[in-house]
Structure 1
Amino acid sequence: MPEGHTIHRLARQHQRMFKGQRVAVSSPQGRFIEGADAVNGKVFTKASAYGKHLFHHYDGDRIVHVHLGLYGKFGVFDATDGVPDPVGQVRMRIIGTQKGTDLRGPTACEVVTEAEVSEILARLGPDPLRKDADPGAAYTRIHKSRRVIGALLMDQSVLAGVGNVYRNELLYRHRIDPHRPGTKVDEAEFDDAWTDLVELMNVGVRKGRIITIRPEDDHGLPSYGARRPRTYVYRRAGDPCRICDTPIRTEVLEGRNLFWCPTCQT
């Protein structure tokens, strides 16, 4: 599932492609026909992101809410020399003056009201990529919970936009055992981790990829797959820790694969 930096990057891309334009919106697949009709021909005013939720805003207070889920993705095409035929199950197609985009496979693609947007956001914790984020709200929830920190960081009601890569890598970078209860994470540790997370995710927005390894630690075995990011622990089970050589361990925690170094993270 795309992490928050990908959604913010998409919001910026769509803002550049469509802001201020009267766009054509359709649903070649047929599963978003009524929603597409509601915004077709309207002016695309802005795109915004919160956590893993993307919002397209149109004049007339129309908003399209997109959650990519596990399989959703946007594809971009040039619309200046004719519009290509849709390929595959295109849920939503947007065509501007020069560019177009096709959305396939999202978990959610729906027209919502401002009130419904507020309801979505009310269920989410602070987003590290937003300037209005309140890290104190996240720490309060963490410090009151006996759930382990490795689970809390993946809970979107605690922190919005953090996925499995950032969760595993952040805990390693701050030498925190993912099995430690939230009640045992002190405020100074959290503040340091939050500051680091904000920086890491902003790098992800700018670069379009996750970068978590400090230059001085960038040695040892290569990344875990072709065109994949180099990581400290994520998907490196059994490989030696880049710092201490202890084999990286893994287990399933609340349905997601957890990775950690039992020596470095205490």
Structure 2
Amino acid sequence: MPEGHTLHRLAGRQRKLLGGKTVAVTSPQGRFAEGAAVVDGMVFHTAEAWGKHLIQRYRPFAGARRSGERLIHIHLGLYGAFSEQTAPMAPPVGQVRLRIEATDVGVDLRGPSACQLYTPADLDALVARLGPDPLRRDARPERAFAAIARSTRPIGALLMDQKVMAGVGNVYRAEVLFRAGIDPYRQGTRISHDDFEALWADLVTLMRVGVRKGRIHVVRPADDHGAPSYAADRPRTYVYRRAGEDCRICGTTVAHAVLDGRNLFWCPACQR
């Protein structure tokens, strides 16, 4: 599932491609036909992300009879993806849930777990149940610390809980805990405020790099050598997907377990 930086990068890309343009909106697949009809012919105002959720905002063009902003909420899930092409767009291929076409460019959305019209109240409810997002300037990290500090769950589970912190996925979870030297099984109640502030600051830095580069980069330049990355098209990691290999720092075998249904990786020597 895409981590939060991917959604923020998508939002920025869609603002650049479509922002301020009147768009034709359809659902070639048909599953979002009624929703598409509501925003068809409106102006694509902006897109923004909260964690792993994307919100598109549409407004009437000047002089239009209808008024008021309309929202589309998208969650990509495991299989959702956007693709772009110049306009006029070619006939849709495959199960295109949402097609947005301006005069010069368009995007198709396939395979999302959610694509639905939202009201402002729906968005308020979504934001209320999400933890702070390290990539949003309006984030309130103290909310995340309060949730962590009162919990006996492992910090490795809490960082992945979108109600605690929005947008953090498995790669960032494993790598930021390694960089902080924190055992993923340490209870939330044993995470000091200084620990949390360091984790939050590192997540902000790393996830901003992810937005800028379009890829996750987590290994410090001084450590960016030795064993190759876990896949040919991925940058190196310290522990993520390196179970059984030597730690890049101390040589201890990287450990693996399953925590709350997700693969967990850590170095037993570096993370105490």
Which band: TM-score by shorter chain?
A: over 0.9
Q: Which amino acid aligns with 2:260?
A: E
Q: CA deviation at 1:202?
A: 0.4
Match of 1:63 among 54, 66, 71: 71
Matches within 5 A, 1:1-266: 1-59=1-59, 60-79=68-87, 82-266=88-272
Which range moves more in the overlay, 167-176 or 225-234? 225-234
Q: CA deviation at 1:120?
A: 0.5
CA distance in structure 2 between the aligned counterparts of 1:21 and 1:114, rounded to whole angstroms: 22
Q: Which amino acid aligns with 2:78?
A: L
Match of 2:94, SS state, is coil
CA distance in structure 2 between the aligned counterparts of 1:47 and 1:92, rounded to whole angstroms: 15
CA distance in structure 1 between the aligned counterparts of 2:89 and 2:270, rounded to whole angstroms: 54
- Once the two structures are superposed, what CA deviation does each residue of 1:170-222 show, in whole Å capped at 9, x if it has no partner? 00000000000000010001101111110100000000000000001112110
Q: CA deviation at 1:144?
A: 0.3
Q: CA deviation at 1:88?
A: 1.0
When normalised by structure 2's length, the TM-score is 0.96
Q: CA deviation at 1:97?
A: 2.1
CA distance in structure 2 between the aligned counterparts of 1:114 and 1:229, rounded to whole angstroms: 39
CA distance in structure 1 between the aligned counterparts of 2:234 and 2:262, rounded to whole angstroms: 19
Match of 2:205, SS state, is helix
Contact 2:210 2:216 in 1 (8 A): yes
Match of 1:142, SS state, is helix
CA distance in structure 1 between the aligned counterparts of 2:92 and 2:170, rounded to whole angstroms: 32
Q: Which amino acid aligns with 1:107?
A: S
Contact 2:25 2:101 in 1 (8 A): yes
CA distance in structure 1 between the aligned counterparts of 2:235 and 2:145, rounded to whole angstroms: 28
Match of 2:21, SS state, is coil
CA distance in structure 2 between the aligned counterparts of 1:229 and 1:65, rounded to whole angstroms: 31
CA distance in structure 2 between the aligned counterparts of 1:99 and 1:83, rounded to whole angstroms: 8
CA distance in structure 2 between the aligned counterparts of 1:25 and 1:143, rounded to whole angstroms: 45
CA distance in structure 2 between the aligned counterparts of 1:121 and 1:226, rounded to whole angstroms: 37
5+ residue gaps, structure 1, are: none
Q: Which amino acid aligns with 2:20?
A: G
Q: CA deviation at 1:229?
A: 2.3
Q: CA deviation at 1:230?
A: 1.0
5+ residue gaps, structure 2, are: 60-67
Match of 2:57, SS state, is strand
CA distance in structure 2 between the aligned counterparts of 1:140 and 1:202, rounded to whole angstroms: 24
Work out the number of aligned pairs and report it: 264
Identity %: 60
Match of 1:247, SS state, is coil
Q: CA deviation at 1:168?
A: 0.3
Contact 2:153 2:188 in 1 (8 A): yes
Give structure 1 regions of 4+ aligned residues with deviation exceeding 2 angstroms. none
